[in-house]
Amino acid sequence: MADLPPPGALATLQKIYALWRQWEKRFSLACQPGCAACCTQAVLATRLETEYLAQAFPAETTAILAQVSGRHWPAPRLTTNQFAALCLARSPEPDDPYQPQSAPCLFLDARGRCQVYPARPLACRIMASTRPCHEAALPPEIFTSIGSVFMQAVEHLDGRQWGSLWSLLPVVLAPVEAKGAAAKDNTGPLRPCHPL
């Protein structure tokens, strides 16, 4: 597996994020700073997104490294593109014991504000609601579908690893000589990315 992102991938990821921002502007969303009902530890990301986050916010990502290292961080059995391929083939979805983590995101401050908001992964960006929510979001109907397409594109762009953000952070932040050990010691499943 390649350790480096594909050439130009970080710049392309930023363009994808900007395109999402443009697209979501057409909706009247209730989300405000400090509204963190959707902000849980169930953050799925690619290695590319995790690298982007770590580069943009090195102090914040390094600060939580001790909290995430050596813990089990679950992820679904199928990546976004694997799930899409099953749907296109009209194949049944396999049983998956994945249970999303519902505890608050580790990047939230005491006021419920995201400390890494400008560089947050796409999984966070597509969480939105048309009404204030304290228990359950009410996203625009098309958000999930279009969000999945964006997530498929990011997985394809990266082509390396996909899983829980918290499983990817120790791999990304490990010194170069320790990257192999960090990947082996990681107790959360990291899946290979799949092309579109």
Q: Tens place of pLDDT for every residue, the chain, 196 residues?
A: 568 888 999 999 999 999 999 999 998 888 888 888 889 998 999 999 999 999 999 999 999 998 998 888 888 888 989 988 888 888 888 887 777 778 999 999 999 999 999 999 999 999 888 888 776 777 888 888 899 999 999 999 999 999 999 999 999 998 644 555 555 555 566 888 887 6
Q: Hey, where are the domains in the chain?
A: 30-89+103-192
CA-based nearest residue to 147, from 33, 26, 17:
17
DSSP-derived letter for residue 17 is H
Residue written as token pair 């597509």: 126
Place of tokens 């359950």: 136
Please tell me the total number of residues recorded for the chain in this structure. 196
* 154: CB partners within 8 A, 6+ apart: 13, 16, 46, 48, 49, 122
34 φψ region: left (φ > 0), alpha (ψ -120 to 50), beta (else): left
CA 179, CA 185: separation in Å to the nearest integer?
Answer: 10
Alpha-carbon radius of gyration of the chain: 16
pTM for this prediction: 0.88
Number of C-beta neighbours around residue 141 at 10 A: 8
User: Rounded to a whole number, what is the distance in angstroms from the first to the last CA of the chain?
Assistant: 18
